[in-house]
Amino acid sequence: MNNKINWARKDLLAISELSKEEIELILEIASSFKEVSTREIKKVPALRGKTVVNLFYEPSTRTRVSFEIAAKRLSADVINIIADSSSVRKGESLVDTGKNLEALKIDIIVLRHNSSGAAHLLARNVGVSVINAGDGWHEHPTQALLDIFTLKEKFGYIEGLNVTIVGDILHSRVARSNIWGLTKLGAKVCVCAPKELLPLDIEKLNVRAITDIEEALKDADCVNVLRMQLERDEKKVFPSVLEYFKAYGITSERLNKLKKNILIMHPGPLNRGVEISSEVADSQNAVILEQVTNGIAVRMAVLFLVSQGRQLYAHSH
């Protein structure tokens, strides 16, 4: 493993804050950790004696389990806290919860929260490491990192790749983190959604914004299909899931027209028949389960790096 690790952050809050080199470092370390999960004994002692708390204010099975497995494969002790975000206002504040955890001498908090900026709030109020596992509509850094890791594995490079992200971009933290990560590494990103679900001025993040799905798929090397949550669609752009599926669903009919192979990614959980057809989700081109596997390696890398970064931080504070 790389002995000269150039990582000085105690936290991982947003891909927007990372340099290209920092992203590459995470990917590099993730690829050396990937092998651990293929061993007979799936454990290395990198975080032995450290305690990781998964503090989740939003329901999530996939991300929480992935972080838990990643931490355990690094030999850390893991505590899971499922907090009820509806009682946040009357109950203990996020900052107080964080300070209490710190007083319990834990080392890393993995935070999932329904409010944009929650990870920043927590990180500036505690000395322990904070990893953002998704905050509101803002960012979901490890999801983007595992998506990029998977792309790099499949194509061997990122620079110049055409990646299309389809779905509710407005409310998607996965889209935001992917846009930052991919553009920093030189990929060409296109986002595709009906106008109402495209955030204003998104083009300023160096992406193409397109409402026509056929157009958005035309040049794509990969399409990242976002989960469609109709309950977020306040403007009622789509009266039903079927309407969305007809307009933006990724189907083999749409893909076959392109006469080429496109890599299919999805952050999960899948809504079959809403944003993606079963046929596509289960096809040769889909790498959805590989993404899940790669998630462990990427999260191991992030847990490891912030733990290193915190030692530097502790020295300087």
Residues forming the site for other proteins (CB under 8 A)? 16, 88-89, 93-95, 113, 115-118, 120-121, 124-125, 135-139, 171, 173, 176, 199-202, 204-205
Burial 199-230 (b: 16+ CB within 10 A, else e): beebeeeebbbbbebeebbeebbbbbbbbbeb
CB of 248 to other proteins, least distance (A): 20
Residue 171 or 218 with smaller CB distance to other proteins: 171
CB of 6 to other proteins, least distance (A): 23
Tokens 């599926």 found at: 245
Is 154 in a helix, a strand, or coil? helix
Residue 164 or 177 with smaller CB distance to other proteins: 177
List, in order, residues 6 or more apart from 113 with CB less than 8 Å away.
Answer: 57, 58, 85, 94, 119, 134, 135, 136
What is the spatial distance between Cα 133 and Cα 299, in angstroms, rounded to a whole number? 10
CB of 170 to other proteins, least distance (A): 9
Residue 90: half-sphere exposure toward Cβ, Cα within 13 Å: 3
What is the spatial distance between Cα 305 and Cα 195, in angstroms, rounded to a whole number? 39
Q: Tell me, what amino acid is at 192? A: C
Residue 17 or 279 with smaller CB distance to other proteins: 17
Contact by Cβ (8 Å): 138, 116 = yes
Residue 22 or 135 with smaller CB distance to other proteins: 135
Residue 149 or 180 with smaller CB distance to other proteins: 180
CB of 231 to other proteins, least distance (A): 16
Residue 64 or 120 with smaller CB distance to other proteins: 120
CB of 192 to other proteins, least distance (A): 16
Q: Which two tokens stand for residue 215?
A: 């157009």
CB of 287 to other proteins, least distance (A): 26
Residue 88 or 312 with smaller CB distance to other proteins: 88
CB of 95 to other proteins, least distance (A): 6
CB of 85 to other proteins, least distance (A): 9
What is the spatial distance between Cα 210 and Cα 236, in angstroms, rounded to a whole number? 20
Question: What Å distances lie between residue 60 and 56, 99, 100, 112, 244, CA to CA?
Answer: 8, 23, 23, 8, 24
CB of 62 to other proteins, least distance (A): 20
Partners of 109 in beta bridges? 53, 130
Burial-class residue 60 by CB neighbours within 10 Å (0-12, 13-18, 19+): middle
Phi, psi values for residue 315, rounded to 5° = -65, -40
Residue 201 or 212 with smaller CB distance to other proteins: 201
Q: Which two tokens stand for residue 317?
A: 């504070």
Residue 176 or 310 with smaller CB distance to other proteins: 176
